[in-house]
Chain A
């Protein structure tokens, strides 16, 4: 039996996983709030630590986590990021600036997550 050839099951697997990828991307696109008023949320261990209106940040601000894995989060007008982290892989820092609604950065070892929610400022205009 030639095991190097791709078989029927492989093709079904490819198509199945491909379909799931497309559906998830569509779902993500549709479910992200499109508002341009950016609210950032910082959560640690599932608890909300800080909620920041990114449009109202005038001076750069740091958020420090001193317990367990040391981390620094930097907030500027319209954007937020993990600046430093003592975790091993630094995936959170590599994620860079979060600038638009739906953006997320997580640090699994520290159980920290930053996410940006988009809210539209003039919701009453579409209420009817």
Chain B
């Protein structure tokens, strides 16, 4: 990818991530556990990991968290978005780049969701000064497997389609 095309791709991915994060806020989740959510922006993070460098991936996650937190959740929740988003992006990047033979895109997505939820509930415990990790983690892990599988499947299909149509290659 040449430099201009890469910047364009990053901007498109950031915009998409922001939009689906905001869209997700409208979808009601009937589980009264803090941290349970679909995490649709994970789809974009995975696409970025497959096609871009680590620093671009992190830039996309940071920008998305900043904008979404400012527009909706408030600054206190920014801490949660950024810590969860960055840690899961790092783990998914490691699994994809260093151990891809071992994991499918769906598996990587689930691992990302597991890390995301675990990091967030640990931070929540520190903030509340109350060990709620053990109480909520089982449900959060089950939720991570389900939502990770959903976002992983969507990412998988999207990544294949992008490869097939060579959308991110220089020739198009």
Q: How many residues of A are in contact with the other chain, CB < 8 A? A: 36
Q: Specify which of A4, A6, A21, A106 lies most central, judged by the most chain B CB atoms within 10 Å of its CB.
A: A106
For the complex, would chain B's binding face be called helix, strand, loop or mixed by DSSP majority?
Answer: helix
Our pick among A5, A28, A113 for the contact of B134 (Cβ within 8 Å) is A28
Tell me whether B103 and A24 are in contact (CB under 8 A): no
A1-46 contacts to B, CB under 8 A, are: 3-10, 13-14, 17, 20-21, 24-25, 27-28, 31, 43, 45-46
- Bound form: Cα–Cα A45–B127 in Å: 7
Tell me whether A13 and B130 are in contact (CB under 8 A): no
Q: How large is the interface on B (under 10, 10 to 19, 20 to 34, 35 or more residues)?
A: 35 or more
Residues of B within 8 A of A105 (CB): 32
Q: Is A108 an interface residue (CB 8 A)?
A: yes
Tell me whether B32 and A95 are in contact (CB under 8 A): yes
- Bound form: Cα–Cα A10–B72 in Å: 34
B95-133 contacts to A, CB under 8 A, are: 95, 99, 101-107, 110-111, 114, 124, 127-130, 132
Q: Specify which of A17, A25, A88, A115 lies most central, judged by the most chain B CB atoms within 10 Å of its CB.
A: A17
Q: Specify which of B72, B111, B138 lies most central, judged by the most chain A CB atoms within 10 Å of its CB.
A: B138
User: Per-position contact with A for B8-34: 1 when CB-CB < 8 Å, else 0?
Assistant: 000000000000000000000000111
Tell me whether A20 and B103 are in contact (CB under 8 A): no
Tell me whether A46 and B129 are in contact (CB under 8 A): yes
Interface, chain B (partner A; CB < 8 A): 32-34, 72-74, 76-77, 80, 95, 99, 101-107, 110-111, 114, 124, 127-130, 132, 134-135, 137-138, 141-142, 144-145, 156, 159-160
Interface, chain A (partner B; CB < 8 A): 3-10, 13-14, 17, 20-21, 24-25, 27-28, 31, 43, 45-46, 88, 91-92, 94-96, 102, 104-106, 108-109, 111, 113, 115
